[in-house]
Amino acid sequence: MTSRTSLPLCGIGLFLVIALALAVLKAPPDGLERGQLSQFLGRFHPLVVHLPIGLVLLVAALECAGFFRNRKHLQASASFVLTLAAFTALIAVFLGWLLARSGGYEGRLVTRHMWGGVSLAAALILCCAVRESNVKLYGTALFATVCLMAWTSDQGGKLTHGEGFLTEFMPAKLRAVLGVPPPEKRHTPTTNQVGISLVSASTPGNVSVTFFASRVAPIFQDKCVQCHGAQKKKGKLRLDTFENVMRGGKDGVIVKPGDPSGSEVFRRITLPRDNKDAMPAEGKPGPTEAEIKVIEMWIALGASQSLAAEEVRGAPPLAPPMTASPPLTADYRPRSDKIQALQSELGVLLVPRSQNPTDGLILRTVSVRERCDDAALVKLAPIASLIVDAELARTKVTDGGLKTLSTFSNLRSLDLSHTAITSVGVRLLSRLDKLETLNLTATGVDDTGVALLRHKARLKRLYLFETKCTVQSELQTEKQKR
């Protein structure tokens, strides 16, 4: 037995643990947010906490190595690792306390987790102190410490990931063996994310969706619960269930049924966004006008839990479900054979613009600029309506080809830079109503060619560098600003 953890070191450790325990007792996490520096430091807790976890397991492994004759020498380092584990545990507990105290945490889970951490640090110091003197006590203490650590980490995991995180996807058979209750259904149609029943309980047999659950709770869930929920209860307020909403926060009730303007919750969400009391805090996206209206109506109608949604007249309509953007072109897939044939015949590439088959094709000519001429464009005419972007820079296209291009009615972007085209051809392009970007750099275009294009509302970018246009700079800036 060589490396002894010196007793004075244990003494210091004990002193620190007691100091931490007093800090936790005197200044428990109370759901209020405090100093920025302490929050900054505190957020390193989840990172640092893995050090003692790893080290404690290493201590256990090293001690177990002592059971094997040819590995006995490893046991000697256990003492050093143990000291390190105790030291890092103290740091982790300190950071954890900073995080919990200043980050707006509160509640059973965080309290348990914190006392778990303090006890763990104390247990590790005890292990250090008795390791050399009392082998039996040490063995028991180390075993208990590992168990305590497992429990504490589990509490911490639940804090971050929510209770039931580990067991959510546990196979049903294992569940039965271990006696773990079945998981809560995540997306049942009759409850929303908050677990609030969407169905009014007060009208048995005649189930209807309540206004609170279907319209009000989703707003709180979306905009407020990240700070006013089970894990964070800023202002001692939770907005995750009807009861909690009605219970209110540190300054008492926030909802006065029938009196929106007298209700703190309504005042907070209608304050100017730069007011320090405005909610959601910290510049988080605020409720929309429709959402504010919904909350106002709900309070005005008595802040009821059971009022059916259909009984509320004049509530703002729910936002229409996200509609996919309208297709740019027809689906190209039925024409795949034709597209293939054209690609091999002309050497051009016809690339889908996105995974969405109705987003159109990009015409690429980079490797066949010399071959790409007016005749090639004529050949592309059968699939012209599928092309939304034509890259024709430095090709052999002339004014004759622009006549063909002017029938490519879905074109949004067209690059004709460094080609032989002139104003005669470009004037035809004013027929392309969807055109947004047109690059005419280093072409023979002059003012007469772009006069008509300038008034096309859709056209956002028109490039006229190295042309004879006198208006070019004015036009480019003016167009680009839109």
Query: Residues interacting with ligand HEC, by CB under 6 A?
Result: 33, 223-224, 226-228, 234-235, 237, 248-251, 254, 264-265, 268-269, 277, 279-282, 284, 287
CA distances, 456 to each of 125, 132, 385, 443, 451 (Å): 78, 88, 20, 20, 10
- Rounded distance between C-alpha atoms, residue 432 and residue 384, angstroms: 12
Q: Is 426 helix (H, G, I), strand (E, B) or coil?
A: helix
Residues in Cβ contact with 157 at an 8 Å cutoff, skipping those fewer than 6 apart: 165, 166
Give 159 or 328: the residue with its C-beta nearer to ligand HEC.
159
Q: Which is nearer to ligand HEC, 265 or 328 (CB)?
A: 265
**Which helix H or strand E contains 268, and what residues bound it?**
helix 264-270
Q: What phi and psi values does residue 255 have, to the nearest 5 degrees?
A: -125, 120
Output 157 or 286, the one with its CB closest to ligand HEC. Answer: 286
Which residue number, 249 or 360, has a Cβ lying nearer to ligand HEC? 249
Q: Residue 304 CB, nearest distance to ligand HEC (Å)?
A: 18
Task: Work out how close the CB of 273 gets to ligand HEC at its nearest, in angstroms, rounded to a whole number.
Answer: 12
Cβ 211 to ligand HEC shortest distance, Å: 17
Per DSSP, the residues of 35-99 read: -HHHHHHHTTHHHHTHHHHHHHHHHHHHHHHTTSGGGGGGGGGHHHHHHHHHHHHHHHHHHHHHH
Distance of alpha carbon 435 from alpha carbon 342, whole angstroms: 24
Q: How far is the CB of 233 from ligand HEC (least distance, A)?
A: 9
Q: Which is nearer to ligand HEC, 279 or 393 (CB)?
A: 279
Taking the complex as a whole, how short is the minimal distance between the CB of residue 48 and ligand HEC, in angstroms? 25
The residue with its CB nearest to ligand HEC is 249
> Do β-strands 387-391 and 361-364 pair in parallel, antiparallel, or remain unpaired?
parallel
Alpha helices (runs of H) in 311-395, residue ranges in sequence order: 336-346, 374-380
Minimum distance of ligand HEC from residue 97's CB (angstroms): 19
Shortest Å distance, C-beta 253 to ligand HEC = 8
Closest approach of ligand HEC to the CB of residue 264, in Å = 5
Q: Would you say 293 or 418 has its CB closer to ligand HEC?
A: 293
Smallest separation (angstroms) from ligand HEC to the CB of 193? 15
Omega prior to 280 cis, within 30 of 0? yes
Please give the DSSP secondary-structure letter assigned to residue 32: -
Report the residue number, 282 or 337, with the smaller CB distance to ligand HEC: 282
Q: Where are the alpha helices (DSSP H) in 356-398?
A: 374-380
- Single-letter code of the amino acid located at 186: R
171 or 283: CB nearest ligand HEC: 283
Place of tokens 């509530």: 315
Q: Which is nearer to ligand HEC, 30 or 446 (CB)?
A: 30
320 touches 264 (CB < 8 A) = no
Other Cβ atoms closer than 10 A to 171: 8
